[in-house]
Structure 1
Amino acid sequence: MMIKTTKILFVCLCLSGFVSVKSQAQRLVIIGLDGFSAEGFKTARHPNIDALVAEGVLSLTTRPVMPSITLPNWTSHLSGAGPEEHGIVNNEWKLDAHELQALEKDQEGYYPNVFKLLKEQVPGIRIGYFYNWGKLINSMNQKYFDEISFEKEFKYRANYSKAYDYLLKNRNHPTTLFLYSVHTDFAGHDHKWMSPQYITAIEEADAAIGDLLAKLKTAHLYADTHFMLITDHGGLPEGHGGVSMTEMQVPWAVTGPKINKLGLVDFANSNKNTALVIAGIYNLKNLPVTWSGVLPKNILKKNPKNLKMYLR
């Protein structure tokens, strides 16, 4: 009788929130920092990012797609393809006003991205898209998002707080959260890349990341979560869009339960590969035939057989 009563009490405490139980739901947090150069990574202090990626994979030689500007690259990250395939070749792209046609489109006319596949193949998944640069969402079909949060005036701290709330609310569902900030890029434009203000912007982002990770650990939502750290380009000196190595080398990292601990790697990598890694984490099938990204073969602890053709 005592055992049964104890079990009932424990269940009631869990439901009321007094006892935290580790969630077993599959979870991915994609942290995006715009304009984060490899040179900036090597110069700034970012202890929270360092601790996060220590158990996974870090590349400081990942190549953006060309042109090395924002919208084409974030689209490539999430769509497994380059501008020549998805058709987003500048920051002014709109669904009803663009020049280059995509090789493939969904019913609404958008190039098929990884969020579409997640919604179609992962039962019950929740997808959040949190951002602070208005044009970023233009290449995304918003019907695949369960929650969208746009923070005005290029601020980002409220979105980081909302990110925790979103992950906590959906702790028992498979969840993918895209959490993006443009403030690092603006620091480069306003004060020059590698200026003290630019380095400070990176370090402030690291502090916000650290606060989020600490809360996830307290809520027992950290250990079973995959994390990606991605960006779009570097800069030289106030701008970007060219082909200098400063613009064309960026940090890229992934960690989590399904990721091998490789540390710093130097294999060839592209922003186009991000969506393939996400597909591997969730074991997605039937990827778009026009995706040109690849899945670096040593990243996942066990490569899904259905993604064998995408392995490099």
Structure 2
Amino acid sequence: MSSERVSVLLVGLDGLGGYYLNGDEADARQRMPTLFGLLDQSTVGTITGRTVFPPISAPAWVSALSGMTPDMTGVIHKLWDPEVCVGCPNARAGTPVPLNVFDALDSATTHKSIVASWSWLLKLVNGDVCQCALDAGGDDDKAVRLFAESCSYDKGVLPHCFSFVHLDLIDAAGHKHKWESEEYKQSWSAADRRLQELIATAQQHATSTQRDLVVLVVSDHGGSGNDHGDIIPSHMQIPLIVWQSETNASKRPVHVDVVQSEISILDITPTILAVLGEKIPRWVRGTALLQ
């Protein structure tokens, strides 16, 4: 696979606990056929990978997008705000914002987009590092529509090479109804339909620009009761999947020799950079899951 002809879509399914997917996998497969279809055809993937501690959204998503642990980024709670907080040692120049995958990808050759159902995530980017940052305002259907619209922005500019789309409804169901509830599991099906739409749009876009597509799907945490934040399996286990649309089997990169239980949210950024042929900065932790 040539890194010059690849588009990467990262889909974040907030609050999808791997502990519950693994607890009754047969039921989970019925509710999430798209997710498990990706898992079954993945180059590397697991439903019981590891997030960072504390397993809450702000530090976890920053770790996913930066490859740094919360103690390195300084983002340990959603109250972190670049307007008032001191930056980490590896911050974007002139800001307290931790360097992340958007900074590491060359804007001259890589068109990047972020569509966030959770508006907080837009604090991590600016116009210098991301050409397209869209706020879905808590509406996952809007996030799907905005991603489709963002692909049309490519006319006359670079094709999308990296896109991150964040969906929030699973996490909202956990907080409202409890992670062990039937309502929480029902939210999986709704999220899975949106995941299917996102992949179809990304595949159409990749095909129209003559690119191969790599899809990564990850969560940030699980939970129990109505909350999360403890260092226990129901909070710490997450799905992490890397899937490729490459049809030429002889060109498919193989995954590195990793133990499934050791796959971590920290592996997201180095994997994206490796797929796109970018140098992995010294501040990135984790392992690139593709050779």
Identity fraction in percent:
23
Moved more, 35-44 or 175-184: 35-44
Residue in 1 that maps onto 2:272: 278
Structure 2 CA distance for aligned equivalents of residues 156 and 274 of structure 1: 22
Residue in 2 that maps onto 1:12: none
Query: Is the contact made by 1:131 and 1:179 (CA closer than 8 Å) also made in structure 2?
Result: yes
Q: CA deviation at 1:174?
A: 4.6
Q: Which amino acid aligns with 1:207?
A: R
The equivalent position to 1:129 in structure 2, one of 114, 131, 134, is: 114
1:186 aligns with 2:172: yes
**SS in structure 2 of the partner of residue 144 of structure 1:** coil
Structure 2: gaps (5+ residues): 247-251
Q: What are the residue-to-residue correspondences of 1:38-77 with 2, within 5 Å?
A: 38-41=18-21, 42=25, 43-44=27-28, 45-56=31-42, 57-77=44-64
**SS in structure 2 of the partner of residue 247 of structure 1:** helix
Aligned length: 269
Moved more, 155-164 or 248-257: 155-164
Structure 1 CA distance for aligned equivalents of residues 204 and 76 of structure 2: 42
Structure 1: gaps (5+ residues): 1-23, 304-312
Residue in 2 that maps onto 1:3: none
Residue in 2 that maps onto 1:34: 14
Structure 1 CA distance for aligned equivalents of residues 101 and 122 of structure 2: 14
Q: CA deviation at 1:216?
A: 4.8
Q: CA deviation at 1:189?
A: 0.3
Structure 2 CA distance for aligned equivalents of residues 146 and 223 of structure 1: 19
Residue in 2 that maps onto 1:147: 132
Q: Which has the larger radius of gyration?
A: 1
Residue in 1 that maps onto 2:70: 83
Moved more, 250-259 or 62-71: 250-259
Residue in 2 that maps onto 1:288: 281
Residue in 1 that maps onto 2:262: 268
Q: Which amino acid aligns with 2:145?
A: S
Structure 1 CA distance for aligned equivalents of residues 98 and 202 of structure 2: 33
Moved more, 104-113 or 271-280: 104-113
1:236 aligns with 2:236: no
1:250 aligns with 2:230: no
Query: Is the contact made by 1:93 and 1:138 (CA closer than 8 Å) also made in structure 2?
Result: no
Q: Which amino acid aligns with 2:232?
A: S
Q: Which amino acid aligns with 2:271?
A: V
Q: What are the residue-to-residue correspondences of 1:201-220 with 2, within 5 Å?
A: 201-217=187-203, 220=207
Moved more, 215-224 or 187-196: 215-224
Moved more, 216-225 or 125-134: 216-225
Structure 2 CA distance for aligned equivalents of residues 106 and 235 of structure 1: 32
Aligned-residue Cα RMSD (Å) equals 2.5
Query: Is the contact made by 1:64 and 1:271 (CA closer than 8 Å) also made in structure 2?
Result: yes
Query: Is the contact made by 1:126 and 1:146 (CA closer than 8 Å) also made in structure 2?
Result: yes
Query: Structure 1 residues 139 and 147 mapped into 2: Cα distance closer, same or farther (>3 Å)?
Result: closer
- Residue by residue, what CA displacement relative to the aligned partner does 1:229-273 show, whole Å, maximum 9, x if unpaired? 0111000111001111100111011111454379x9624122111
Query: Structure 1 residues 216 and 85 mapped into 2: Cα distance closer, same or farther (>3 Å)?
Result: closer
- The runs of 4+ residues in structure 1 deviating greater than 4 Å are 215-219
Q: CA deviation at 1:66?
A: 0.9
**SS in structure 1 of the partner of residue 235 of structure 2:** coil
Structure 1 CA distance for aligned equivalents of residues 128 and 140 of structure 2: 23
Query: Structure 1 residues 255 and 200 mapped into 2: Cα distance closer, same or farther (>3 Å)?
Result: same
Query: Structure 1 residues 174 and 294 mapped into 2: Cα distance closer, same or farther (>3 Å)?
Result: same
Query: Is the contact made by 2:10 and 2:217 (CA closer than 8 Å) also made in structure 1?
Result: yes
Query: When the two structures are superposed, what TM-score results if normalisation uses the length of structure 1?
Result: 0.78
